[in-house]
Amino acid sequence: MIIILAPSATDSDIDELVNNLKERGYGVHLSKGVEKTIVGVIGAHDDQKPVLAEQLSSLAYVERVVPILKPYKVVSREFKPEKTIVRVGGVDIGGQKVIVMAGPCSVENEQMTLEVAAAVKAAGASILRGGAFKPSTSPYSFQGLGEEGLKILATAREATGMPIITEVMDTRDVELVARYADILQIGTRNMTNFSLLREVGAVKKPVMLKRGMSSTIEEWLQAAEYIANRGNYDIILCERGIRTFETYTRNTFDVSSIPAVLELSHLPIVADPSHGTGLYKLVPPVARAAVAAGADGIMVEVHPHPEKALKDGAQSLTPQNFSLLMKDLAAVARAVGRYV
Ligand code: PEP
Ligand code: MN
């Protein structure tokens, strides 16, 4: 449930209320907005709620007590009406600027990673992406360079100043990946790996949670709630397409999830048109659509030689095409009151 405080509530009223709730064993999340202060209460059982609501309503500085009926609470808009801005290495995700994360699908070697990193930075990207632990449908395809790949990403960060985002697939690797990465990525295949979600929830690094390829928006937000419940509120959601009967595209990019998530949750949302379409020619138009729909960022795969890429060459942009996309995105962002 959430407690909406009266405009007259003072700091000491808020302290008193928070202590009162903590003494009863509840988790408390305080959201101090410009207009309203909202106190979120976590852990109250359904049978305790009516009595608790009645008791709290008797306080003069409480305006209203509202139950949250959704299956996710901490990540919901009711719980925190203001948008969350995830701050990483001087980059704000969720603010006015549309953040572009770009880089190769997989870190293949140091030379190509440094080459792509320099090119995407020059074109205006803010964050470098690259997979070191690769989830592969086929056990025979490239599985990533592992820790060596993380080291190469760290070198590219040093060379360009860009924060790095990379996927962690296994609970046993969380500590290792968190040592190198600025943002931990949870891939589509792991969105319902609840042990992994809990593990990254305990890390003090932002997490980007990709939508499960067969997951509803509600299931996706519940997965985010697993992370938030462990105390990590720095969560970025990423729409990357879902499975439908369509086979021409790799996935069906769900552009409608972007405004839906922005309404349901305070978390920032990024779009991945590369995995969303699987076809490089479709990446720019879908990226533009995502920005027009309100996405806080875009994640795009870029490879200097897509024809030689170890993974996902068909959906990778050349640095030149990426540069053209950045110019297009600037125009779309301007049209919706943002910038790139
Ligand atoms: C990726 O971004 O490298 C990736 C594997 O994406 P997804 O989990 O969306 O398939
Ligand atoms: Mn890929």
pLDDT tens digits, residue range 146-171?
Answer: 999 999 999 999 999 999 999 999 99
330 and 250, same structural domain? yes
Q: Are 94 and 53 in the same domain?
A: no
Position 81 in a domain: no
**The predicted structure's pLDDT at residue 10:** 94
Regarding whether 38 and 90 lie in a shared domain, the answer is no
Res 69 pLDDT > 90:
no
Whose CA is closest to atom 10 on ligand 1?
Answer: 188
pLDDT over threshold 90, residue 44? no
Do the beta carbons of residue 101 and residue 129 sit within 8 Å? yes
Q: How far is the CA of 275 from the centre of ligand 1 (A)?
A: 7
Q: Cα(95)–Cα(248) distance, rounded to whole angstroms?
A: 34
In order, the DSSP letters of 298-320 are: EEEEB-S-GGG-SS-GGGPBPHH
Give the full edge-to-edge strand order of the sheet including 27-32. 27-32, 37-42, 2-5, 62-66
Q: Give the number of domains in the chain.
A: 2
Compute the distance from residue 316 Cα to the ligand 2 centre, in Å. 8
Cα separation, 49 vs 28, whole angstroms: 15
Q: Which of 24, 73, 69, 71 is nearest to 48 (CA)?
A: 24
| Residue 212 beta carbon below 6 angstroms from any ligand 1 atom | no
Distance of CA 148 from the midpoint of ligand 2 (Å): 18
Structure confidence by residue, pLDDT tens digits, 101-136: 999 999 999 999 999 999 999 999 999 999 999 998
Confidence of residue 265 (pLDDT cuts 50, 70, 90): very high
The last residue of one of the domains, among 66, 101, 121, is 66
- Residue 213 CA, closest ligand 1 atom number: 9
Helices within the chain (DSSP H only): 11-23, 49-57, 110-123, 147-160, 174-180, 194-201, 217-229, 257-264, 273-277, 283-292, 319-335
Q: Does the pLDDT at position 32 exceed 90?
A: no
CATH code for the domain in which residue 36 is found: 3.30.70.1140
Residue 131: inside a domain: yes
Answer yes or no: is 159 within a domain: yes
* pLDDT range class, residue 31, cuts 50, 70, 90: confident
Answer whether residue 14 is part of any domain: yes
| Ligand 1 proximity of 131 Cβ (cutoff 6 Å) | yes
Range of the domain at 60: 2-66
pLDDT higher than 90, residue 77: yes
- CA 190 → CA 45, 134, 184, 193, distances in Å? 29, 12, 12, 5
Cβ 187 under 6 angstroms from ligand 1: yes
Ligand 1 and 250: CB distance under 6 A: no
| Residues 265, 337: Cα–Cα separation, whole Å | 20
Distance 105 CA to ligand 2 centre (A): 4
| 100 found inside a domain | yes
Residue 140, burial from CB neighbour count under 10 angstroms (0-12, 13-18, 19+): exposed
Entry pTM: 0.95
Question: Residue 262: what pLDDT?
Answer: 98
Taking the chain, what is the end-to-end CA distance rounded to the nearest angstrom? 37
Pocket test for ligand 1, best of 101, 138, 185, 196 (most atoms within 8 A of CB): 185
Which pLDDT score, from 0 to 100, does residue 94 have? 98
Q: Are residues 110 and 230 in the same domain?
A: yes
> How high is the pLDDT of residue 279?
98
Angle value at C-alpha 65, between 59 and 68, nearest 5 degrees = 155
Distance 187 CA to ligand 1 centre (A): 5
**97 and 6, same structural domain?**
no
Ligand 1 pocket test: which of 243, 275, 299 has the largest number of ligand atoms within 8 Å of its C-beta? 275
Whether the CB-CB separation of 295 and 269 falls below 8 Å is answered with yes
Do 55 and 91 lie in one domain? The reply is no
Q: Give 39's pLDDT tier (boundaries 50, 70, 90).
A: very high
Alpha carbon of 136 to ligand 2 centroid (Å): 9
Asked if residue 245 and residue 146 are part of one domain, the reply reads yes
Would the CB of 210 count as within 6 Å of ligand 1? yes
Residues 55 and 139 in one domain: no
Of ligand 1's listed atoms, the one at least distance from the Cα of 190 is: 8
Using CB atoms within 10 A of its CB, is residue 68 exposed (0-12), middle (13-18) or buried (19+)? Answer: middle
Task: Based on the fold, state whether residues 97 and 18 are members of the same structural domain.
Answer: no
- Distance between Cα 186 and ligand 1 center (Å): 8
pLDDT at 36: 86
- Identify the band that residue 328 occupies on the pLDDT scale cut at 50, 70 and 90: very high
For ligand 1, atom 6, the nearest C-alpha belongs to 187
Token pair 């046993």 is at which residue?
A: 172
> Ligand 1 within 6 A of 311 CB?
no
Picking from 35, 66, 97, the residue at the C-terminal end of a domain is 66
Kindly give the distance from the C-alpha atom of residue 73 to the centroid of ligand 1, in angstroms, as a whole number.
27
**Which tens digit of pLDDT belongs to each residue from 212-263?**
999 999 999 999 999 999 999 999 999 999 999 999 999 999 999 999 999 9
Same domain, 149 and 44: no
Task: Please indicate, yes or no, if residue 290 is contained in any of the structural domains.
Answer: yes
pLDDT of 289 over the 90 cut: yes
What CA–CA distance (Å, rounded) separates 295 from 38? 26
74 inside domain: no
Flag whether 185 is in a domain. Answer: yes
Q: Compute the average pLDDT of residues 31-48.
A: 88
pLDDT at 33 over 90: no
pLDDT of residue 35: 81
Indicate if the pLDDT at residue 137 is higher than 90.
no
- What the block records as the tokens of 291 is 């920005």
Q: Where are the alpha helices (DSSP H) in 230-266?
A: 257-264
Q: Which residue has the tokens 């006015």?
A: 96
Q: 34 and 125 share a domain?
A: no
pLDDT above 70 covers a percentage of the chain that reads 100
Residue nearest to atom 9 of ligand 1 (CA): 188
**H or E segment and range at residue 237:** strand 235-239
CATH at residue 291: 3.20.20.70
pLDDT digits (tens, 9 = 90+) for 191-205: 999 999 999 999 999
| Same domain (yes/no): 97, 218 | yes
With a 6 A CB cut-off, is 240 part of the ligand 1 pocket? yes
Mean pLDDT of 179-192: 98
